[in-house]
Amino acid sequence: DIQMTQSPSSLSASVGDRVTITCRASQSISSYLNWYQQKPGKAPKLLIYAASSLQSGVPSRFSGSGSGTDFTLTISSLQPEDFATYYCQQSYSTSITFGQGTRLEIK
């Protein structure tokens, strides 16, 4: 299976900060990488698909980049509603795998 490793595992930041979360694949996955946001007690929500495409309705402060094995999710200016856990997911293989998650907390 393709292993997905996110860093950091947790992050403390303040409203207005610029934040970057990294996801690394154990082999090249081209641009077949998606990002989800999950708030406590809620289902995950799609943010970014195909590495850099913003899902409809998602604020433009979210952006994704990367290809091959290294990917990033950037939040340009943190808002109170952005404090959540973020997951990357590869669709390159039929055996889907997720990163372990990055918990974004209020400083």
Partner 1 sequence: EVQLVESGGGLVKPGGSLRLSCAASGFTFSSYSMNWVRQAPGKGLEWVSSISSSSSYIYYADSVKGRFTISRDNAKNSLYLQMNSLRAEDTAVYYCARVVLGGYAPANWFDPWGQGTLVTVSS
| Binding positions for partner 1, rule: CB under 8 A | 1, 31-32, 34, 36, 38, 42-46, 49-50, 55, 87, 89, 91-101
Whole-number Cα distances in Å, 90 to 12, 19, 100? 26, 21, 12
Nearest CA among 73, 58, 67, 75 for reference residue 92: 67
Whole-number Cα distances in Å, 82 to 13, 52, 63, 104? 11, 18, 13, 8
CB of 48: closest distance to partner 1 in angstroms? 9
Specify the residue, 6 or 75, whose C-beta has the smaller distance to partner 1: 6
CB of 52: closest distance to partner 1 in angstroms? 12
The amino acid occupying position 104 is: L
Specify the residue, 7 or 77, whose C-beta has the smaller distance to partner 1: 7
CB of 77: closest distance to partner 1 in angstroms? 25
Specify the 3-state DSSP secondary structure of 100: coil
Specify the residue, 68 or 101, whose C-beta has the smaller distance to partner 1: 101
